[in-house]
Amino acid sequence: MKPTDFAQALSAYLGSYLPGQKNVSAHTLHSYRDTFKLLLEFCQGTRGLAIERLTLRDIDDGLIVAFLDWLETVRHNSVATRNQRLACLHGFYRYLQGQDPAGLWPYQRILAIPTKRTAQPAIPYLTPDALQAILAQPNRATRQGRRDATLLSVLYDTGARVQEIVDLRVRDVRLEAPATCTLTGKGRKTRHVPLMGGTVALLHRYWAEWRLGDNGRQDDPVFANRQRQPLTRRGVAFILDRYVAKARESVPGLPDRVSPHVLRHTKAMHLLQAGVNLIYIRDLLGHVDLATTEIYARADTELKRRALEHAYPTLVSDDFPDWSEDDALLTWLTRL
């Protein structure tokens, strides 16, 4: 059977354009792949369209809207997930505009499908005491405990995404002054993050114990399991969950769920509360747009309170007389 125009376009997009021209990461490519797997499942299972006969003309804006509704109502995806799937489809149809000008109008109708507005969730982060309680949990008398203590310290100190820690290699870490860590983030963009003294001390001991300074180890993962395989995202989350559960015994006010990304939020909030400029926080976190970093400023209620107190220091005073000694007020209340 002759391949359809949809099959040819999708193969070229996923197999050549995204990895070859856009140079997207494997994680991003998997997200696009999963979106189209779901779309094909919807077309075949719900619309009765044979996948091998599916053409570009079969997929219009009405089908895409129905697919997005199916994600929410049948698969019970969140609005954020629905919007992310739509963003992947928009990327594909922006690509098609240049490849198939004859279909410009139906493609633009799909591109006009808006994302759904969703409530901005509160940013979860830890207080310094809560963070210290978690970092103190690994048993540093054991080899695994020392690895975990170093892992959690680097995860917080760098403000890294969990995938960036998983991908970290020995050659990416510089322990000589000035100590830095080179992280590769979204879009394969790299950034150099300074390491603080306590983390550097942990890494020095960790380097010696795991012999990471030996010649030929430059491409080894910094954090590995007992089989010397890189830790996975799920593995890092599992390690953190274990120590959070232990810390909750002494700090009952910990959030219900503390993911590795919460440590990233925590680092950003602590820097903001320490007076670090948002520009530097943006660069440390690897944000492309400063507007992304500004969510921390909007979320920090303590910072807002201090700013209000500084701006209006004399408007509200705590020097009030005892109302029970105000005879005029008591008389008025009695008559009321």
Burial class (CB in 10 A: 0-12, 13-18, 19+), 147: buried
Catalytic residue (one of 186, 204, 217, 233): 186
Query: Catalytic annotation on 192?
Result: no
Annotated catalytic residue 161: yes
For residue 99, give every residue at least 6 positions away whose Cβ sits within 8 Å of its Cβ, in sequence order, or none.
Answer: 9, 12
Task: Specify burial of residue 119 (Cβ count, 10 A radius: 0-12, 13-18, 19+).
Answer: exposed
Catalytic residue (one of 82, 191, 264, 267):
264
β-sheet bridge partners, residue 181 = 173, 193
- Catalytic residue, candidates 161, 191, 270, 282: 161
Residue 181 contacts residue 168 (beta carbons within 8 Å): yes
Rounded Cα distance between 222 and 206, Å, is: 9
DSSP string of 62-81?
Answer: HHHHHHHHHHHHTS---HHH
Is 189 one of the catalytic residues? no
Catalytic residue at 211? no
Residue 261 is among the residues annotated as catalytic for this protein? yes
The one catalytic residue in 33, 169, 248, 261 is: 261
Among residues 82, 265, 270, 287, the one annotated as catalytic is 287
DSSP per residue over 305-317, as a string? HHHHHHH-TTSS-
Token couple for 225: 């399991």
What does the block give as tokens for 1?
Answer: 């059977």
Count of beta carbons in the 10 Å neighbourhood of residue 228: 9
CB 184 within 8 A of CB 190: yes
Among 13, 125, 206, 296, the active-site one is 296
Asked whether 279 and 268 are in contact (CB, 8 A), the reply is no
Q: Known catalytic residue: 264?
A: yes
The residues annotated as belonging to the active site are 161, 186, 261, 264, 287, 296
